[in-house]
Copies of this chain bind each other. A is one copy, B any other.
Amino acid sequence: MSYISLSDNDLKEMLTAIGITSIKELFNSIPADIKLNRDLNVPGPLTEVEVVAYFENLANKNLSLDVLSFLGAGAYSHVIPSVVDYLSQRGEFVSPYTPYQPEISQGTLQTAFEFQTLICQLTGLDIANASLYDGASGAAEAVLMAHRLRRRPKILVARSLHPQYRETIRTYVNNLHLNIIEIGYDESGCIDLEKLKGSMDEETSAVVFQSPNFFGSIEDIQKISEMAHQYSALSTAVIAEPVSLGILEAPGILGADIVTGEAQSFGIPLSFGGPYLGFMSCRKEFIRQFPGRIVGETHDVEGKRGYVLTLSTREQHIRRERATSNICTNQALCALRATMFLETLGQEGFRELAWQNLQKAHYAKGQLSQIKGISLKFNGNIFNEFVCEFPKPWEEIESILLEKKIIIGYGLENEFPELKNCAVICVTETHKKEDIDKLAAVLKEIT
């Protein structure tokens, strides 16, 4: 299949108009010695029927049907209202570029403005951007921003922050030669507040922590922020499961200065890890150091309200090497989906969603913790994830459950050698009581 729209005749007329006899002539500026004088070694062309068959074949290799999964750990299975798919696939949303021409991009821009508003409402902070790549790179951008704001060499990072986010931060800041100090966790699964206190000082730009954290435990944002503020370090909260914000107090209200995270939970399918949706918000005094596109409200020459990309003097296309971030293309369509998701659920629906996650996860936690041999690794408060320790090697547990068509959770020992035979189990509103009971029943049998 080719997507060319020229007829045979058009082609001839255009060559004549240009004054050439063959398209090849237009490539004369490419030196002969670097021209590729053969066809690319690429399969195809495939027609629609063939390409669909090709991918159906691959899809079948995924074997993922009918499995009952309790995987979370940074990617969450939530309900998606039918209107989100229906509306977000409209060509007018899918096929424009970044809204450089606001007069013909109000759909994208107004939606982004609504997204920013929703993120501020969720996080309790003043300003939000129009999206970042994902939670991990968002965390890295937050560290860079905090460092630009405070210019101090020390960054405290909770070990209970998603390991991929920690690694990404490390990659992004590697050449800044910062002193990244990892702060462990205590028996609640939360950041070790004593250790945090001990590490915090005038050299510290920020403390970065996740809540609910990678183990599912809810951090004490207030305490952490107080400790940070004592040295005017920035309290940087990462939210990987923002459905929790339907029931947990806004981090900004509790003292966080920067809130960043992953909003995949908001209407973005699991998609084997991407595209997802990074978001970030902060206090308004940090705006000059804030990364990413921002949409603002203004008026047209007739006084009609409209929206534009604004404060772009922070950005690469104006400021070049002095930009607050190199980001250009972000995750606009994912932000659109998140906006649709949140607005469709609405205040009541979102509250209910959070509440059901909380209830179901606690029900599961209760059921599992009663099973002989299985223990809860941590005693902190949780939202929709928690860590279990199993009496048998994790690999064995995992594979026995797979035979029963259950993916029980995310094994921790690769990334946390100290958490042998432990796994994070995630329960959301998508799990029915019978799913949870089945998990418990199977586990009872095998432990």
Residue numbers of A with Cβ under 8 A of B are 48-49, 79, 81-82, 86, 89-90
- Contact between B81 and A48 (Cβ–Cβ < 8 Å)? yes
A382 to B440, CA, bound (A): 62
Q: How many copies does the complex hold?
A: 2
Separation in Å of the A204 CB from the closest CB of chain B? Answer: 46
A90 to B82, CA, bound (A): 14
Chain B residues, CB < 8 A from A90: 90
Q: Which of B48, B49, B79, B86 contacts A49 (CB 8 A)?
A: B79
Separation in Å of the A59 CB from the closest CB of chain B? Answer: 14
Chain B residues, CB < 8 A from A81: 48
Chain B residues, CB < 8 A from A79: 48-49
A86 to B95, CA, bound (A): 13
Which 5 A-B pairs rank lowest in CB-CB distance, beginning with the nearest? A48-B82, A49-B79, A48-B81, A90-B90, A48-B79
Chain B residues, CB < 8 A from A82: 48
Separation in Å of the A135 CB from the closest CB of chain B? Answer: 26
A89 to B81, CA, bound (A): 17
Chain B residues, CB < 8 A from A86: 89
A-B contacts, 6 listed (Cβ < 8 Å): A48-B79, A48-B81, A48-B82, A49-B79, A86-B89, A90-B90
A89 to B85, CA, bound (A): 12
A86 to B90, CA, bound (A): 9
A79 to B89, CA, bound (A): 22
A81 to B79, CA, bound (A): 30
Closest residue of chain B to A53, judged by CB? B432
A48 to B345, CA, bound (A): 12
Closest residue of chain B to A430, judged by CB? B49
Chain B residues, CB < 8 A from A48: 79, 81-82
A49 to B349, CA, bound (A): 14
A79 to B86, CA, bound (A): 23
A48 to B49, CA, bound (A): 31
A79 to B51, CA, bound (A): 13
Closest residue of chain B to A79, judged by CB? B49
A81 to B89, CA, bound (A): 17
A49 to B345, CA, bound (A): 14
Chain B residues, CB < 8 A from A89: 86
Closest residue of chain B to A87, judged by CB? B91
Separation in Å of the A19 CB from the closest CB of chain B? Answer: 31
Separation in Å of the A351 CB from the closest CB of chain B? Answer: 16
Separation in Å of the A51 CB from the closest CB of chain B? Answer: 10
A380 to B48, CA, bound (A): 34
Closest residue of chain B to A92, judged by CB? B90
A49 to B49, CA, bound (A): 31
Separation in Å of the A89 CB from the closest CB of chain B? Answer: 8
Closest residue of chain B to A49, judged by CB? B79
A81 to B52, CA, bound (A): 11
A82 to B55, CA, bound (A): 15
A176 to B90, CA, bound (A): 50
A49 to B81, CA, bound (A): 9
Chain B residues, CB < 8 A from A49: 79
Closest residue of chain B to A52, judged by CB? B82
